[in-house]
Amino acid sequence: MQSPYHRINISYCKFFIDQQMETIDFTPGVYEHYKGKKYFALGLSKNTETGEVCVVYRPLYETDWPHLVHRHAEMFFESVNVNGVDMPRFRRIA
């Protein structure tokens, strides 16, 4: 039985978490970091102890670190200021 706080649509994911029904809109795909490297974002995860939601992704380039990594969703979707210009930390490109 699926939790009432977790609903998934194949092409467009909406995760409803906690009793406040906080919404995070997320679409899996290729994202480009503002520094230029590309990553495939697979989905969202939730820490069962803290309730924090993270984006799970993998680099699309060779690395010597783990193949799957995660970053807090708040940080993944935030804007960064580079040389006085606000831009998304990650932007979906495919």
- Which of these, 2, 7, 60, 50, lies nearest to 29 by C-alpha position? 60
Distance, in Å, from the CA atom of 94 to the CA atom of 85, rounded to the nearest integer, reads 23
Residue in 24, 37, 50, 14 with CA at minimum distance from that of residue 89: 37
CATH fold of 27-92, please? SH3 type barrels. (2.30.30)
3-57 pLDDT, tens digit per residue, is 443 444 433 444 444 433 357 788 999 999 999 999 999 999 998 898 899 999 9
Is residue 79 within a helix (H) or strand (E), and if so which, with residue range?
strand 79-82
Q: What is the pTM of this model?
A: 0.74
What does residue 73 show for φ and ψ, rounded to 5 degrees?
-55, -40
Mean pLDDT, residues 54-80: 93
The alpha carbon of residue 88 and the mean position of all alpha carbons in its chain are separated, in whole angstroms, by 12
- Residue 75's pLDDT band (cuts 50, 70, 90): very high
